[in-house]
Chains A and B, each alone.
Chain A
Amino acid sequence: MKKKILTVDDSPSVRQMVKLTLSSAGYDILEAGNGMEGLNSAKGTTVDMVVTDLNMPLMNGLGLIRELRKLPAYRGVPILFLTTESDAEMKKEAKAAGATGWITKPFQQDQLVAIVKKVLG
């Protein structure tokens, strides 16, 4: 069965990019435009991985990661966050919130696939 990945980003172009890349790598993709939407989708179904942006309206990525980790079904589910922050601070915060790893923007398609494969198998 195909593994399901939820991508959460307020930028449609990034979402589209993530979707195109990962669906051609054989994953099923769900999309959400902000943390709140992402949380609702995640609650409505179970996904194998979440890829989220950090800076988003309504609920940012950190909030989403914290909320997801509170859900028993999402304990242990890999969560990657997208970041352009070059400072380690943001990464630490997201890691402390329970993220599994990160993808530094800008990234190439094969890098994204490589990282997803690394974490998801």
Chain B
Amino acid sequence: MSGSDPTQIFLEEARDLLEQLEHTLLDLEHTPTETDLIDTAFRALHTIKGSGAMFGFDAVAAFTHHVENAFDLVRKGKLTATPQLIAVALAAKDQLRLLIDHPASASASDSEAILADLRRLMEAAAGSVPGPEAGTGGVSAGGSASGRNSGWHVRFRLPEDAMATGTNPLLLLDELRSLGDATITALTHDVPSLEAIDPGVCYLRWDVRLQTGQPRSAIEDVFLFVIDDMELEIEPMADGENAPAQAAAAPDPGPLPAAVDEHPERVSGGAEQAALKYLRSDPRGNKNVDSIRVPAQRLDELMDRVGELVIAQSRLKQIAAASADVAVKSVAEEIERLSLELRDTTMGVRMLPIGQLFSRFRRLIHDLAQELGKQIALVTVGEETELDKTVIERLNDPLIHLIRNALDHGLEDPAGRAAAGKPPQGRITLSAKHVGAEVLVSITDDGRGLDRARIRARAEENGLVAQGAKLTDNELFQVIFQPGFSTAQAVTNLSGRGVGMDVVKRTIDGLRGTIDIASTPGRGSTMTLRLPLTLAIIDGLLVRVGRGRYVIPLSAVEECVELSTEEDARSRGRSFLNIRGDLVPFLRLRELFNASMPADRYQKVVIVSAGELRVGLVVDQVIGDHQTVIKSLSKLHADVEIFSGATILGDGTIALILDTVHLVAHGQQHEERLKAAS
């Protein structure tokens, strides 16, 4: 039941608030006087402090308290959100994150250093701002004046509006009674004549003789919420007519005369915060009016179940197709419709806007820009584009790497930019958009562009490219994703260690995605990641090759054309098909898969695309569209690149899913080989 454990909720909430704080701070750096941003930052800190203390994160609360103080001053116009303050606040945010996630590894001296910086800024701004005081509230000292007297004579009149603002005088009298033996007299001389009475106003005075061993503060606590606005006299009763065991009740009996001292400035009550132990309440049901936090694992399980349902549904569909029973057919159709809707809804639940990911990089870019001494503006486009949660999570590392590369290698320093006639501030654009069943995520810089000659030289030196081989730009650029390739002349903190780009490529491959690179010398580069919308269920085109059945992702399919035996014979040796004037290479899957069964008289060609390239796949039969629940292949088959997975068909047999990207690449190589042979 981790979903409803308040401590867990707090942790998630605090992480969200810290992210929000970071964005706000970064925005505030540009518009330091924007009151909305200042309020948002303050509120985030305020909530973290309050909830932190409540859920036992004392260090978090104490640390946040000081940062909150600083932003309180900003809010009140006594401190300016200078870049220095923002920098310290960002450091504080990081420290808070550490305190929340890994309290054991958060060092107190780091916290202290950050707070010292903060203090310096606050002092510099105000001359002398009150230094960080310990914690909030604290235990009230007001209760020290306990008397050895036998009781108290209490006379009071409540504020006129007490009843209107929700104070119930009867409850106050009950509370006084609970302290001891009370004799209560109501004094009515202020009550006006009936016609002048406002029923919402409290006209009565009370005179209470209270025999008790309780200290004076206990009585003041009764009036805690009205004490500032009321008339209240508390006097020790002159002579103890009847004094019960008071010494035991008062652990620290103060000197007698102190009992008559007044404490008019007292605000907070002793009972309210006598002990500052924090609570961990037992987990129960959780209800949230706006949204529900669900452990991600449950979504994964839900998706699995829906996958199984879709497979079962396709079996039903097959049975219904063979059945003559109209009722069965109609139920099967109904269930098909419902399961498709359920699939879409479930996938929708898993979708998150990519802006969430983009916004994480703002901080990265801010920090890197400072480290590298470059001026960088980040532009984000299409943040609302939604992607499967898993895809977004797995994109984090590759994108960080690509952004680092763009900043480190792509963008010039201000001097270099000036020399190239560009504005001193470089620009990184992160964009995302939907194209069909894919999402394109691109990172664009307006830097110097990729250095073809150097990449080529390096690739030849490492034996990644044959001497003198003719390569298109994209082919040459793909070399940088090969393991061990790096052109950075100096190893920096950021990139250039020759590790990473191949990992980026592997990760994107793992997501069934591709990376395209476009670059113009002197103008910059764009890395475009093409990613499938989801990893779990796709629309596929089911085809037959020989006896086997295969699924081609429908998003990659452009069209299907027929290939008659005559045409096939004619084209033999050429493997090109004329599609409305374009020559498209094709692959005979029968040959690729060594199909033994004789070919159909009319074979079909499924034209698939991957990026700019197209290739035809010759199959025996196009069976139709198929809801494909993707099951990954075993480790044993991980090296078989032309299959990206497998799926279970309605009759329980297995169909392999073709990896079109690799097939297209394979087709291109095939074509090269044919060319070379002829």
Contacts and interface: CB of A to CB of B under 8 A. Distances in A.
Interface of A: 10-17, 19-21, 31-33, 37, 49, 55-57, 69, 75-79, 82, 84, 86, 88, 91-92, 95, 98-109, 111, 114-115, 118-119, 121
Contacts of A33: 289-290
Nearest to A56: B43
A73 to B, nearest CB: 13
B136 A84 contact: yes
B563 to A, nearest CB: 61
B575 interface: no
Interface stretch (B162-170, B184-192, B323-331, B652-660): B162-170
Q: Pick from A49, A86, A114, A121 the residue with the most CB of B within 10 Å.
A: A86
28 contacts: A11-B47, A12-B13, A13-B6, A14-B50, A14-B51, A16-B286, A17-B281, A20-B281, A33-B289, A49-B166, A55-B43, A57-B43, A76-B166, A78-B166, A78-B168, A79-B165, A82-B50, A91-B267, A95-B165, A95-B225, A98-B164, A104-B273, A105-B50, A106-B50, A109-B281, A111-B271, A119-B166, A119-B225
B137 A86 contact: yes
Interface of B is mostly: loop
Interface of B: 4, 6, 9-10, 13, 40, 42-43, 46-47, 49-51, 53-55, 61, 133, 136-137, 161, 163-168, 170-171, 174-175, 200, 224-225, 228-229, 267-268, 271-273, 275-279, 281-282, 284, 286-290, 293
B282 A20 contact: yes
Given A76-B200, A86-B137, A101-B166, 20 more contacts: A10-B47, A11-B51, A13-B6, A16-B6, A17-B6, A17-B281, A31-B289, A95-B165, A98-B161, A100-B225, A101-B225, A102-B225, A104-B268, A106-B136, A106-B278, A107-B54, A107-B272, A111-B271, A118-B175, A118-B224
Contact of A13 (B9, B49, B225, B287): B9
Given A76-B200, A84-B46, A109-B281, A20 B6 contact: yes
A75 B175 contact: no
B634 to A, nearest CB: 42
A49 B168 CA distance: 12
A16 B4 contact: yes
A106 B174 CA distance: 27
Contacts of B50: 11, 14, 82, 84, 105-106
Contacts of B168: 78, 119, 121
A100 B167 contact: yes
Contacts of A104: 136-137, 268, 272-273
A6 to B, nearest CB: 12
A82 B49 CA distance: 13
Rank and list the top 5 A-B pairs by shortest CB-CB distance, nearest first. Answer: A101-B225, A100-B166, A78-B166, A106-B53, A13-B10
Contacts of B277: 108
B632 to A, nearest CB: 36
B55 A78 contact: no
Given A12-B13, A55-B43, A88-B267, A78 B167 contact: yes
Residue among A13, A91, A109, A121 with the most chain B CB within 10 A?
A13
Given A17-B279, A107-B273, A109-B281, A55 B166 contact: no
Contacts of B163: 76
Nearest to B225: A101
B54 A12 contact: no
A32 B290 CA distance: 9
